[in-house]
Chain A
């Protein structure tokens, strides 16, 4: 195998011919997320024939089409449900799901919740741009308070959905949130998430200059990208300030988005538990807990 060192070699290895350039708008963060995922896959050295990409509907869900691997472009919000089916049918496959905020937190919220609760063996890469970009800028469930959208012309009054804290509460094995503006931390984070058994979520805060930035007066592409730098804070710093900081510091960081690794566990995934169940019921190995209990009772 040729070692990949430059982006040109990476492109030749992973990208599907004839699909490029992408349909993404100027300054969109989705292509960056795709690149980070490809670098993480390259560092892991996974066999692309054993990797399946699934996606729902939306800008982010175009991404499996650009990768030279098996992909599934499913119905709106159901990417995680389809991926569960793929994993159940063939547990050898590695599942990566690209999904957007509307796809994952909006219409597919319940699928997401239950996949995280069951600790399904898959990696969800959620690209959060705070808006339904492809359909013209409707209000997304993750949109910050006061943001303008076509369906919220006077400002959003609904508190946003914090998908990372939701996944953390549900006991997902790996939960992280990053912005697209810094490359190295997300690449490592995606690598960790992919190599983790069980449910892992990496949320990316991605700029959407066309639908979100333009309506919310965030300025041009440069200013919009800087907005992400200025309005995020590492979760360690955030927690330290919230616990021990002064009132002034707390007021400053109150509305920022905490980024970083939220949760890193090693709980058994769904399919590990399922194999144990099959072993137990079919009378497999004597080490299973129920059998041992039965022996004690005798």
Chain B
């Protein structure tokens, strides 16, 4: 989950462009500066690398680690040699 301090965002899109898994997009709502702050896509592969948090020039993004596991990253690999 990411939290954006919307009024601090200047809309430079650095978080969106430099996200390694392309998990961010512009939101529908404008902030008071007239730019669209980022938000997570509905289906995303965010792995909480915190690159957007560290690169944001306005310190507007905070990344919180979700406790519940994601479903989109299921591996097809089955362990072999276990019980049964």
Residues of A whose CB lies within 8 Å of any CB of B are 6-8, 10-11, 15, 20-22, 24, 26-32, 34-36, 39, 180-181, 183, 221-222, 225
Contacts and interface: CB of A to CB of B under 8 A. Distances in A.
B30 interface: no
A28 B57 contact: yes
B10 to A, nearest CB: 5
13 contacts: A6-B53, A7-B53, A7-B56, A11-B59, A24-B58, A27-B14, A32-B57, A183-B51, A221-B12, A221-B13, A221-B14, A222-B14, A222-B17
B18 to A, nearest CB: 7
A183 B55 contact: yes
Interface stretch (B21-29, B38-46, B61-69, B71-79): B61-69
A183 B3 CA distance: 20
Contacts of A36: 54
A21 B53 contact: no
A21 B8 contact: yes
B57 A15 contact: no
Among B11, B18, B55, B59, residue most surrounded by chain A Cβ atoms (within 10 Å): B59
Contacts of B14: 27, 221-222, 225
Interface of B: 3, 7-8, 10-14, 17-18, 51, 53-64
A7 B8 contact: no
B59 A7 contact: yes
A183 B59 contact: no
A26 B10 contact: yes
B24 to A, nearest CB: 13
B12 A26 contact: yes
Contact of A31 (B17, B18, B58): B58
A31 B13 contact: no
B8 A20 contact: yes
